[in-house]
Amino acid sequence: MTAWRDIEQAAPEFAARVQALFDAHKHKTMATIRADGSPRISGIEAAFTDGELTFGSMPNSRKGADLARDPRLALHSATVDPVSGEEATWPGEAKIAGRARKDGDAYRVDITEVVHTHLDEKATVLVVEWWTPTHGLRRAERD
């Protein structure tokens, strides 16, 4: 299992940027898998607590039922638009994929992938950085 502390230890600067994006806004978006296999998008509050990515769910919620059936999830940070003329200051967006583990009334995430999408310093190239437990931190640029 991969906890948030593992990413912090393996790629501290990357982890700090991703956590800052998630911490910048209270509400995030989570995708789970419905019983029929289609995706479900839900609003969620999540936190980085003691080296773990955690979140709660209301009793008898649909996302809780989804996770009991199939623990796979994707979590997306809040997204803000780049300011016209100031695109180089856009912080980007972050995504985390993994599997939920029920822990009492809360969930902890076993992380399988972390992604930070942003622009380069000149705001001319889209940069995608991603970390996985198998391959560590990687980077791709797209014009």
* Short-list 71, 72, 91, CA closest to 80: 91
Would you state the pLDDT for residue 11? Answer: 98
β-bridge partners, 49: 52
Would you state the pLDDT for residue 105? Answer: 84
Q: How confident is the model at residue 19 (pLDDT cuts 50, 70, 90)?
A: very high
Residue 53 and residue 72: Cα distance in Å, rounded? 14
Q: Which fold has domain 4-142?
A: Pnp Oxidase; Chain A (2.30.110)
Q: Is there a contact between 53 and 103 (Cβ–Cβ < 8 Å)?
A: no
CA angle 122, 123, 126 (to 5 degrees): 125
The phi, psi pair for 104, rounded to 5°, reads 65, -125
pTM: 0.95
Domain boundaries along the sequence of the chain: 4-142
Q: How confident is the model at residue 97 (pLDDT cuts 50, 70, 90)?
A: very high
Residue 106 and residue 104: Cα distance in Å, rounded? 6
